[in-house]
Amino acid sequence: MAELDIDLSEINADQMVEMLRAVTDDGQVAQAVKLVGTDKVMGRIFDEMGDRVVAERVDGVSAIVEFVVNDGDEEHKWTVTIDGGSARAANEGHDEPRCSIHTDIASFLRLVSGVASGPALFMAGKVKIFGDMMFAAGFNQYFEQPA
């Protein structure tokens, strides 16, 4: 496997998008994430979700979305709560989310960065959705995407 010269702990969202477009091998993406720390990378992404929410798009929306992301060694559970025109994330699962999105770390990064669409990842078997599939399919529309 080719060695990666990428420090994911220091890159911004736009640089992450560039990296995901350039590195098409999911194994290399997963390896780079694990070198930095899956929780650290995911924490940065979920922390930014609150800043990237488009208030007008979530006005009147109330939902809890659970993400279950497998990095090859373990599952990482996060929830995003949309309510009152804002979004906040927590590093925990939820018993009754509106939908639960299960995927691997590379597909997760491609999904939240807008490099790959949710429906395309779902059709490729890279994402599994439990609960409200229609809501999950439109989840990214609530957030400003990196360039």
**What proportion of the chain, given as a percentage, has pLDDT over 90?**
51
pLDDT band of residue 4 (cuts 50, 70, 90) is: very low
pLDDT band of residue 3 (cuts 50, 70, 90) is: very low
Residue 98 CA to residue 102 CA, distance in Å, equals 13
In the predicted structure, residue 121 carries a pLDDT above the cut 50: yes
Of 55, 72, 120, 66, residue with least CA distance to 92 = 66
Give backbone dihedrals phi and psi of 55, rounded to 5 degrees, phi first: -55, -40
Sort strands 63-70 and 99-104 into parallel, antiparallel or unpaired. Answer: parallel
**What length does the chain have?**
147
Averaged over 125-136, what is the pLDDT?
A: 95
Q: Which of the pair, 19 or 4, is modelled with greater confidence?
A: 19
Of 115, 6, 131, 36, residue with least CA distance to 79 = 131
The type of residue at 106 is A
Of 112, 117, 114, 116, residue with least CA distance to 47 = 112
Which pair of tokens denotes residue 104?
A: 């691997």
CATH class of 13-142: alpha beta
Q: Which of 5-9, 31-35, 42-46, 95-99 has the lowest mean pLDDT?
A: 5-9
pTM tops 0.95, yes or no: no
In the predicted structure, residue 1 carries a pLDDT above the cut 80: no
Report pLDDT for 8: 59
Averaged over 12-41, what is the pLDDT?
A: 83
pLDDT band of residue 131 (cuts 50, 70, 90) is: very high
